[in-house]
Amino acid sequence: MQHILRTGGIALIFLMALGVSALAVDERGVFSKRTAIFAFANKCGLLSDSELLAVKSGQLQARGALLRSGILASEVNRLDMIARQSVIGIDCENPEALAEIDRVKTSHSHWLKMKSLEYPGQYRSWQTRRDDVISQRHWRTIQEIEKADTGSVLLGSSILDGQYSLDIVIENQPAPRSVLLRMRDPQKLPNPPNEFLRKLLKLPMKGVSGLAPPDSATNTYFATHRVMAETGMLSASEGVSGVRFGFDREVLQAFSELEPTEAISIDLYWSNGLGKPDRHKRLYAEVGDFMAARIFAEAND
């Protein structure tokens, strides 16, 4: 069988596709080649941990593009298996394979120098930041989940109390008394609900809310930290203030393991006074290629 590592016109795109959406080229070929390179390099010990993570980030981005294009997860898993099997019998000294590894190394050095990348999803994008000075790296990844004239609501990963954290910043409005995050529980719902199930359960069908699971199939997490947001975490340097809510590290890990075709919901609660029901607002965030973005954003930490 002709192996997937055969060089071709999109070999360099396969290696990194730095800053280029995987939708711009053949998604299946991109995903298969990135998977094969990762498996081959890992088997032969040819790439550093950082280089392997860069390839992994690209592979995850290509996987997200496949799933968003409508290809079933079972088909993506089949492509993954074929790609991994294709490199089992390839010698670690294979010239063509080593040429691909050299391209990875060259691309990786450029990838490390990049300050930011955008990771677009179906409806929203993740923005990433890699400032030169670590102390200035407030957000690693960020998604604007609500925008108003007075300020935004932002969700992303950052550093809080010396650890990576999933945080929400609420700008220019009274801080809610509590913030509750809901995400799919794989034990209750192994995969994001498909169109048939969404119609059956009368769930939203469009927009970011149309990617969220039913509340009955979610795990819930309350924000456990509340501090004033640093200027570097706000959407503007002037005229904006905000409160930062942080979640325990387990929440960041669980969010990182979700599928790129789903969303989470965030419930904000404000007290209306003694004996009165709380005021409530629900927002949504698209998971998208969060894990690919996170790998890029944390590469120089």
Q: For tokens 């490390």, what's the residue?
A: 112
Please state, as a whole number, how many other Cβ atoms lie within 10 Å of the Cβ of residue 100: 22
Residue 21's pLDDT band (cuts 50, 70, 90)? very low
Q: Rounded to whole angstroms, how far apart are CA atoms 255 and 176?
A: 22
pLDDT at 4 over 50: no
191-217 average pLDDT score: 95
pLDDT at 133 over 50: yes
Higher pLDDT residue, 20 or 32? Answer: 32
Q: Rounded to whole angstroms, how far apart are CA atoms 81 and 61?
A: 17
Least confident of 74-78, 106-110, 127-131, 285-289: 127-131
Among candidates 295, 220, 289, 296, which has minimal Cα distance to 259?
A: 289
Residue 150's pLDDT band (cuts 50, 70, 90)? confident
pLDDT in tens, 232-244: 888 888 889 999 9
Least confident of 16-20, 44-48, 67-71, 221-225: 16-20
111-121 average pLDDT score: 92
So what's the pLDDT on residue 219?
97
So what's the pLDDT on residue 18?
34
Q: Rounded to whole angstroms, how far apart are CA atoms 29 and 26?
A: 6
pLDDT at 12 over 70: no
Question: According to the 3-state scheme, what is the secondary structure of the chain?
Answer: CCCCCCCCCCHHHHHCCCCCCHHHCCHHHHHHHHHHHHHHHHHHCCCCHHHHHHHHHHHHHHHHHHHHCCCCHHHHHHHHHHHHHHCCCCCCCCHHHHHHHHHHHHHHHHHHHCCCCEEECCCCEEEECCCCCHHHCCEEEEEEEEECCCCEEEEEEEEECCEEEEEEEEECCCCCCEEEEEEECCCCCCCCCCHHHHHHCCCCCCCHHHHCCCHHHEEEEECCEEEECCHHHCCCCCCCCEEEEECCHHHHHHHHCCCCCCEEEEEEEECCCCCCCCEEEEEEEECCCHHHHHHHHCCCC
Residue 161's pLDDT band (cuts 50, 70, 90)? confident
Least confident of 31-45, 185-199, 270-284: 270-284
Q: Rounded to whole angstroms, how far apart are CA atoms 192 and 262?
A: 6
Least confident of 4-18, 135-149, 169-183: 4-18
So what's the pLDDT on residue 207?
96
The reply to whether the predicted model has a pTM over 0.85 is yes
pLDDT in tens, 169-183: 999 999 999 999 999
Which domains are delineated in the chain?
Answer: 11-114 (no CATH), 120-297 (2.60.40)
So what's the pLDDT on residue 135?
56
So what's the pLDDT on residue 141?
94
So what's the pLDDT on residue 300?
76
Q: Rounded to whole angstroms, how far apart are CA atoms 289 and 61?
A: 6
195-205 average pLDDT score: 94
So what's the pLDDT on residue 86?
92
